[in-house]
């Protein structure tokens, strides 16, 4: 079982080029849990001035994956097998916060949920299934 380590979590986020490009940063990690933040910049917006759904999806997916990774017992790594994201309202504001948690860990698949908030208002909810891949793919 992995011991949750915020510095290690940050290294994994920085090793993922696409995620790194977005500016999403982990702020807390625990067993089966992860929290990330994103300072909203013009590059994150779509033509209507709200945060693009792709940014929100990326944040929720990667944060849920990080939460799932904390429950892996050996050298496996998690990858997304399936996800569903519900966009509940437009994300217009200064900052996004995502909180993800594991609903049911497993040796082959792990079930997760994540919520994304914009300035303390719930804007999206994710449900995802993460597959555990062995041997681990190292960045």
- The pLDDT, as a whole number, for residue 1 is 44
Q: Say what the pLDDT of residue 137 is.
A: 61
Cα of 73 vs its chain's centroid, Å: 20
1: in domain: no
Give the dihedral of Cα atoms 19, 24, 30, 32; nearest 10 deg: -50
Q: What is the pLDDT of residue 92?
A: 97
**Within a domain: residue 58?**
yes
| 139 inside domain | no
Domain membership of residue 138 (yes or no) is no
pTM of the model: 0.93
Tokens matching residue 66:
């990080």
Strand order in the sheet with 121-133: 25-30, 33-39, 95-104, 109-118, 121-133, 77-87
**16 lies in which domain range?**
6-133
CATH number, domain with residue 51: 3.10.129.10
50 part of a folded domain: yes
Query: Number of folded domains in the chain?
Result: 1
Interval 90-138: pLDDT, tens: 999 999 999 999 999 999 999 999 999 999 999 999 999 999 998 756 6
- The model's pLDDT over 65-103, given as tens digits with 9 standing for 90+, comes to 999 999 998 878 999 999 999 999 999 999 999 999 999
Mean per-residue pLDDT for 42-48? 97
Please say if the pLDDT value at position 3 is more than 90. Answer: no
């Amino acid at each position: 079982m992995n011991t949750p380590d915020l510095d290690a979590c940050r290294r994994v986020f920085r090793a993922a080029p696409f995620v790194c490009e977005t500016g999403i940063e982990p702020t807390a990690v625990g067993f089966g849990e992860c929290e990330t933040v994103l300072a909203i910049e013009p590059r994150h917006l779509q033509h209507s001035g709200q945060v693009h759904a792709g940014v929100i999806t990326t944040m929720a997916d990667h944060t849920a994956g990080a939460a799932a990774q904390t429950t892996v017992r050996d050298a496996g790594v998690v990858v997304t097998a399936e996800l569903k994201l519900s966009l509940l309202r437009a994300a217009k504001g200064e900052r996004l916060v995502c909180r993800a948690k594991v609903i049911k860990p497993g040796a082959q698949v792990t079930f997760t949920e994540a919520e994304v908030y914009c300035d303390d208002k719930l804007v999206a909810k994710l449900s995802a299934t993460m597959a555990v891949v062995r041997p681990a793919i190292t960045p």
